[in-house]
Amino acid sequence: MNDYGLIREAWSEAERHYIGSIDDAVSRNDWADRKRFITLSRISEYAYFVLLWGQFEAFINDKAFEAEGDNAGELGFMLRVQLTVSPTHEYYREIDQYYYWRCEIAHGRMSEFPELTLPTIFDRIEEITEAIEKNPLPLGEDFIDLFINK
């Protein structure tokens, strides 16, 4: 179980507040306040992204432990991802990018999300989660690749 929907709803409520505050600052010609609310909105976006990521990471960890048992605890995160998504699959590259952003943000190197907005990231994480839940093999793998050619 994950709380993606609740996290998205909480972020949307916070974002509505910031947009209203930014609009109010503009109507008052208060450019310092406008800048402050834009910065607060960005920090809020980072916080909700990390919260979303934590839910997704817990999901991947659960899947890894289902596949490998206690041995999964010895693996780095992207190796645990490989138990659910082949490194050649587009989702793997996407997860790797999100993981990079999560590490940057969590370690104080806040950077912009250059390619996607947070609502798109919510959609993609939900899509990836559903695809992994529906597929018993690592995504991008098939029976022949997994059992005969290896």
CB distance 92 to 82 below 8 Å: yes
Helix, strand or coil for residue 85?
strand
- According to the model, what pLDDT value does residue 115 have? 56
The span from the CA of 113 to the CA of 121, in Å, is: 10
Helix axes 90-106, 31-68, angle to 10 degrees: 120
> Residues of 28-55 as b/e, b for ≥16 C-beta within 10 angstroms?
eeeeeebeebeeebeebbbebbeebbeb
Helix, strand or coil for residue 139?
strand
- According to the model, what pLDDT value does residue 147 have? 41
- Among left, alpha and beta (phi > 0; psi -120 to 50; other), residue 142 is beta
- According to the model, what pLDDT value does residue 120 have? 92
Helix axes 118-134, 90-106, angle to 10 degrees: 130
Amino acid letter, 82: Q
- According to the model, what pLDDT value does residue 93 have? 94
Whether residue 139 is predicted with pLDDT greater than 70 in this model: the reply is no
- According to the model, what pLDDT value does residue 2 have? 82
Maximum C-alpha span of the chain: 69
Mean pLDDT of 44-73: 92
pLDDT tens digits along 87-100? 888 999 999 999 99
